[in-house]
Structure formats: C-alpha cells, structure tokens
Amino acid sequence: MSEQRFFPELETNRLKLRNVNDADTDFIFNLFSNDKICEFLYDEEIFTKKEDAIEFVEWYKGPEGKGYNRWIIEGKNSKEQMGTCGFHLWDRTNNIAEIGYDLWYEFWGCGYMKEALIVAIESGFSNMKLNRINAYVALENKKSSNTLESLGFVNEGIYRDKHLFKGKYYDHYLYSLLKRDWNKQ
C-alpha cells in the first residue's frame, strides 16, 4: 500500500504542476522580483537578491512532512515555467487551508491559472481532505477576484488590515470555497 501523498504532481490538458525544487531558483527569483507580478502581493517584500529565492525554495521543498507546498506550473509539452500555486496555513483540525497563486504576466488572460487551480482545488479536497479553501485577494486585484469567482469561490467580505506592507495596512477580500459547493458544480 502506497503512502498518502498530500501534494502529488498534477496534470491538466496543457499544464503540469510539480513541487518546487532547487532547479527552480532562477525562475522563482525572476517571478518574485518582478514589479508587475508582485503588484498586489502585500504579504511579501519583492525579492532583491537570489538568496530570497533560495530561501523560498528551501521553505517549500519536501512538502509532505511540512503540510504546505508550492507547485511550479509549467507547460505540459514545453516544460516552460509559468507560475506557482499551492496550499499553506493548513488547519488539520478543521480541514481548512489557504490557497495562493501567481502567474507570469505573459500568460495572463489565457485560462492557465484557472486550469491549474481546478486540479489544485480537486487535490486539496481529495488528498488533503479539506472542507474549506480560503483565498485572500487585494481589493484592487480584479483579475484574481474574477478567477476565484469563476471557480465558485464566495466573497465573504473584507478582511480589514490583513497585511502591513511598507508602512501601510492593506485590506483584502476573503474568499472561500466549500467542498459541498465544489461537488455541486
């Protein structure tokens, strides 16, 4: 009998999601040092040195024992790295986790993130046995809100002063998706 995997590799028609590894350091640095990608990421300072990316990769490597992960989203055939998504803040008592995601701007508007999130969400409900998935979105990030709403996430309101970033507090929308609602879709 094989061991339970909470964060297996996932595939869609166009994408492969695999857990981050040391070979992804340059991509992670480029992603999180880009002003356009990080415009609404108020929970993390923009990366300014390669060590920032090395720490990120180290933090997310070996997710099975840690209970949080970050998949690299890549083209299934091209193997081109496109973005990341994953789960964190996993409350195993109440079966809740938060999902986070980002995508290189050249791939925006092509449906890749929605495609990746569908398999990530399915994995969260089946492999992690989640009942609820939370997502927090900066109020100005309309594209992200639209993506979540298209997947059936419910906007539960505004989480006031969610992140302190560069001396200012930022409100975020709190979105949730319940397993029972996902199963109805």
Closest CA to 18 of 85, 97, 99, 101: 85
Averaged over 88-111, what is the pLDDT? 96
Q: Tell me, what's the pLDDT at 185?
A: 81
In a domain, 14, yes or no: yes
Categorize the per-residue pLDDT at 23 as very low, low, confident or very high, splitting at 50, 70 and 90. very high
Q: Tell me, what's the pLDDT at 122?
A: 98
Q: How many domains does the chain have?
A: 1
Contact of 103 with 120, CB cutoff 8 Å: no
Contact of 132 with 95, CB cutoff 8 Å: yes
Contact of 157 with 170, CB cutoff 8 Å: no
Averaged over 145-149, what is the pLDDT? 97
Residue range(s) defining the domain that contains residue 112: 10-132
Contact of 177 with 154, CB cutoff 8 Å: yes
CATH number of the CATH domain containing 64: 3.40.630.30
Q: Model pTM?
A: 0.94
Q: What does residue 130 show for φ and ψ, rounded to 5 degrees?
A: -70, 150
Q: Partners of 158 in the beta sheet? A: 173
In a domain, 138, yes or no: no
Closest CA to 31 of 70, 78, 83, 67: 83
Output DSSP code: residue 106: G
In a domain, 169, yes or no: no
Structure tokens at 42: 């108020």
In a domain, 147, yes or no: no
- Average pLDDT over the chain, rounded to whole? 95
Categorize the per-residue pLDDT at 1 as very low, low, confident or very high, splitting at 50, 70 and 90. very low
Contact of 179 with 125, CB cutoff 8 Å: yes
In a domain, 142, yes or no: no
In a domain, 18, yes or no: yes
In a domain, 145, yes or no: no
The string of pLDDT tens digits covering residues 130-140 is 999 999 999 99
Structure tokens at 46: 């923009």
Helix runs in 25-73, H state only: 25-32, 50-60, 63-66
171 has pLDDT over 90: yes
In a domain, 161, yes or no: no
Categorize the per-residue pLDDT at 163 as very low, low, confident or very high, splitting at 50, 70 and 90. confident
